[in-house]
Structure 1
């Protein structure tokens, strides 16, 4: 049996403490990197969906301007804008809406309410109804001002319904 001196014991204790500290620091750093990656991914998703919403607004602005008589009706431009809305609403946007990318988690970076991800959320129904309305509008928007006016209301209704339920007020 070998006996260790108190100096050797202190040295071994120091080494064990140092190794344990380094291991804990490594675990903490890995968690921080993971959190920062998750935050970065969430912010990229928010930026992507905000860009998509800007594209909706741009195309709706053209169609709404025509419907209100603020812009001269142009069948080709109306068809193009309505087709853009149909394409946008039919696009798979799931990657743009990850859990944890809501206003409670990310603050002012987004207006998306946590209710989007809550059990019982009907966000999918709103999305499907918007696509249906946008597709119907795309099939008639180039058929004259009355046809445009007849179809744009359903698109606006679906946009508004989703924003009412799932977007922070005054955003």
Structure 2
């Protein structure tokens, strides 16, 4: 029997991502905000690892890059409806930076999340290849993050 071993951090990220939607759907706007905040922190941590490799601040490590990209993809591929319920914007939930524009153009918002998932999947594929492939995938990944944040995230307050 062949055993597939999933690195601990990847397993944690996959379990967390799968549990986010269920937890958020059983709570209110505050719980959804807390779940998506945790999800964003997971994405930021793993994007930081990838970004540091891409910039040369961290040596390229195929296994570590693949692990970070796998966790990033798991976090990006979340249930948008569950984590972003109407009423969880910055005017309704303390700490939230979500603009009301999200729900005025929810399909556009979901489209940007789909773009993020596509870019994260491309990064996962590139991560185990080599540094040049990761560098090539980084522009699209960063662009999807920036497009959503510029449009739908309020500045720190």
Q: How many residues align?
A: 131
In the TM superposition, 1:20-99 aligns within 5 A as 41-99=28-86
TM-score (norm. length: structure 2) = 0.78
TM-score (norm. length: structure 1) = 0.72
Please say which structure displays the higher CA radius of gyration: 1
Per-residue deviation, 1:127: 0.5
Q: Give the RMSD, CA atoms, in angstroms.
A: 1.5
1:132 — aligned with what? 118
Residue by residue over 1:93-144, the C-alpha shift from the partner in whole angstroms, topping out at 9 and shown as x without a partner, is 32111111101222x4200000000147510110111111111111111111
Q: Distance in 2 between matches of 1:41 and 1:78?
A: 35
Please identify runs of 4+ aligned residues in structure 1 that moved more than 6 A. Answer: none
Compare relative contact order (CA 8 Å, sep 6+) and give the higher one, 1 or 2: 2
1:105 is paired with a residue of what secondary structure? coil
Unaligned runs of 5+ in 1: 1-39
Which is further off, 58-67 or 95-104? 95-104
Unaligned runs of 5+ in 2: 1-26
